[in-house]
Amino acid sequence: MSFKAAGFKHDAQFARVRLSKGRNLKEYRSDFILCEYQTRPDVDRTEWDIQQVRAVYKRDEWRLQFVCRTTIDPDPPGDGVAGVDLGICNFAAVSFGGESVLYPGGSLKEDEYYFTKKKAKCDNSSSRKATRLDRKRTGRRTHFLHALSKAIVTECVERGVGTLVVGDLGGIREGDESGESRNWGDHGNLDLHGWAFDRFTTLLDYKAESEGIDVELVSERDTSKSCSACGQTDKTQRVERGLYVCEKCDTVANADVNGAENIRQKVLLSLVTDGGDRDNGWLAQPSVCLFDSESGAFVPREQVTS
Ligand SMILES: [Zn+2]
């Protein structure tokens, strides 16, 4: 059975589709079937351009097939390179080189706190109420990550970025080379962020690809300890109140932006060797985009100096 454009209404947010039963029924009768469906976790429903919905009866169950229009292999928006540094406080810091944007993870943390507290009040962690809370929490986390990856890819498209370089946290979660692990806060944070970073990278990769942007993972080694303006690496470099201060060239940078710019430069290779007399003020003055739960998207906040 197939439903053309006029015969269905898709609700991406709640993973539902309304299938029309036709126009012959009398007005007081319900003339549609509301179907709830599930997809693989990495599928972004909001990107679907559905042309047709098919209902297929197979192995004792009804399956929905969505026929979507999609663009294959689009040209990259440009040849720019952007770097992404993932972290706890700022979930993502993005450097475009000459400009930077921070995406704080506050609302993700607030959710986590809220749901952990709510769940603790459940008598039984496998009760229906607890299960419902878990599902809701996962849904909200997922939405946050979708909105974030979408916001970053949109910024990249606007700036003609063709390559997005992401710091790979894989090894760091186990503790980095020097044996010291990062301060991940309590164990709950570790669980959440391990999950969220993997998931986020997958979503970012998928959304970037659909815009022709290449995503590269690079090691995060030394990206937080080196000065992105002069290249000086200081193992004892202390980051204070989110600022990286270089003792050699006096550059002051937002620590996460400095990390993101170092990650970006890993792919730029020898492209930039312009003597270091550039204006580095942007390193200390990122724009900030905050998650707005009302619109479900990231919105820019005025320029701040952190
Ligand atoms: Zn420096």
Q: Please report the pLDDT score of residue 257 as a whole number.
A: 96
Structure tokens at 158: 């606007």
Instruction: Calculate how far, in angstroms, residue 275's C-alpha sits from the geometric centre of ligand 1.
Output: 12
Q: Identify the H or E element spanning 147.
A: helix 128-158
CA of 172 to the centre of ligand 1 (A): 24
Distance CA 221, CA 168 (A): 9
Q: How far is the CA of 173 from the centre of ligand 1 (A)?
A: 27
For domain 80-301, say whether CATH 3.30.420.140 is its number: yes
Domain layout of the chain by residue ranges: 2-68, 80-301
Q: Measure 111 CA to ligand 1 centroid, in angstroms.
A: 38
The encoded tokens of residue 304 equal 């701040």
* pLDDT < 50: residue spans in the chain: 171-187, 270, 274-276, 303-306
> Is-contact 148 199, C-beta < 8 A?
no
Model pLDDT, residue 140? 92
Instruction: Please report, rounded to a whole number, the percentage of residues in the chain having pLDDT higher than 70.
Output: 84
Contact 49, 69 (CB under 8 A): yes
Q: State the pLDDT at residue 188.
A: 52
